[in-house]
Amino acid sequence: MYLDPEKTSVRLTETTKAGGCAAKLSPAILDNVLSKLKQPANPNVLVGFDKADDAGVYKISDELAVVQTVDFFTPMVDDPYTFGQVAATNALSDVYAMGGRVISALALVCFPEKEDVAILERIMAGGLSKMIEAGCAVVGGHSIKDAEIKFGYAVTGLIDPRRVLKNSSARVGDALVFTKALGTGVISTAVKRKIADSVWVEAAERSMTTLNKRASEICLTRDVHAMTDVTGFGMIGHAREMALGSDVGLKIFASATPLLAGARACVEAECIPGGLRNNRAFAESCVSVAPDVPEQVLSLLYDPQTAGGLLVSVGAADADALVADLRAEGIAAARIGEVTPRTHPILTIAA
- Which residues participate in catalysis according to the annotation? 21
Is 239:252 a contact under the CB 8 Å cutoff? Answer: yes
Looking at residue 38, its amino acid is K
Strand segments (E) across the chain? 45-47, 56-59, 65-73, 101-111, 137-145, 150-159, 175-179, 224-229, 249-253, 287-289, 310-314, 333-340, 347-350
Is 96:228 a contact under the CB 8 Å cutoff? Answer: no
Contact partners, residue 264, CB within 8 Å, separation at least 6: 294, 296, 297, 300
Please give the DSSP secondary-structure letter assigned to residue 194: T
Residue 322 backbone class (left: φ over 0; alpha: ψ -120 to 50; beta: rest): alpha
Cα R_g (the chain), whole angstroms? 19
Whether the link from the prior residue into 304 is cis, omega within 30° of 0, is: no
Compute CA distances 251 → 53, 288, 315, 347, whole Å: 20, 9, 15, 6
Q: Give the closest residue to 167 by CA, choosing from 39, 278, 53, 40.
A: 53
Segments in 53-167 forming alpha helices (H)? 80-97, 117-134
